[in-house]
A and B are shown apart, each in its own frame.
Chain A
Amino acid sequence: MESIAILIETEQDIIIARSEVRSMAAAMGFRLTDQTRLATVASELARNIVKYAGRGRLIAQPMSDTDGRSGLRLIFEDQGPGIADIDAAMRDGYSTSGGLGKGLPGSRRLVDEFQIESHVGRGTRVTVIRWLSP
């Protein structure tokens, strides 16, 4: 299956992101709960891009590891202001925008692998993977 890249700039793009990720997860054979987890992660992290960076992109990549296990990798990247304190941003309830502070820590709980890199003034990249259970 081909990877896809989605420009994330408006609130409409958040809807496109979650619907594309759900379709891809369904086509790969993820069960309904995992489709919902992945769509929700896409919604949370795409919204972060719109809210904090203004624009960025989502890359959705079907992949497999050396054991032949397959999974879906989602990469959210932007060239926005970056996150000054990543440890704080990963804590439940921490928000610089008056939000609930659930986006990053909550998203981490919905996937198997979660990696965040951010540089102040240069941007942020969040990479998540959910593996397909055999």
Chain B
Amino acid sequence: MYTPQRIPILKVGRVLIVPIQVDMDDATAMQLQERILAELERTGARGVLIDISLLEMVDSFIGRMLSDIAAMTRIMDARTVVAGMQPAVAITLVELGLELPGVDTVLNVDEGIRLLRDEFGIREEASEEPPDFELSDHWKA
């Protein structure tokens, strides 16, 4: 039986990073949407950064999924940023009539992190810094 592909969801600080590196079928896209929301709830992350720099095509189905994720995360008091859309994909999306309402887009992942941090105030947790410790003499040698 067919099972959807599993797209990784990485948690870095209070941001979920979702690198989409495969051509998604509809079931994978739907499952990803649900998993992102479940991870937001489970981890308390406040931002979602979806990297689509390897996606060679965004059709109306995937476009709608991105808009839906942005709307749903906002309802959950989080923000979604879509990073790295290829120029040919942007041209095609606009001609198709999809301007991804409500989706913040940025050129790359770096810009996405900056936007989430500076504009939306999503920062690393201060309370979860690693404890200080001294290297033992053995390892200092």
Q: Interface of A with B (CB < 8 Å)? A: 10-12, 14-15, 18-19, 22, 32-33, 35-37, 39-40, 43-44, 47, 92, 99-100, 102-103, 105-107, 109-110
For A110, the chain B residues whose CB sits under 8 A away are 92, 95-96
Q: Is the CB of B92 within 8 A of A33?
A: yes
Set A11, A36, A109: member contacting B57, Cβ < 8 A:
A36
Set A19, A35, A106: member contacting B98, Cβ < 8 A:
A106
CB-CB nearest in chain B for A10: B2
Q: Interface of B with A (CB < 8 Å)? A: 2, 23, 25-27, 56-61, 63-64, 86-89, 91-92, 95-98
B interface, over-half SS:
helix
CB-CB nearest in chain B for A39: B57
A106-B95 contact in complex given A39-B57, A40-B59, C-beta closer than 8 Å: yes
CB-CB nearest in chain B for A106: B96
Q: Is the CB of B96 within 8 A of A109?
A: yes
- Write 28 A-B pairs (CB below 8 A) sorted by A numbering: A11-B25, A12-B25, A15-B23, A22-B57, A33-B91, A33-B92, A36-B57, A36-B92, A37-B95, A39-B56, A40-B92, A43-B59, A43-B61, A44-B59, A44-B60, A44-B96, A47-B59, A99-B60, A100-B60, A100-B63, A100-B64, A100-B98, A102-B97, A102-B98, A105-B97, A106-B96, A107-B96, A109-B97
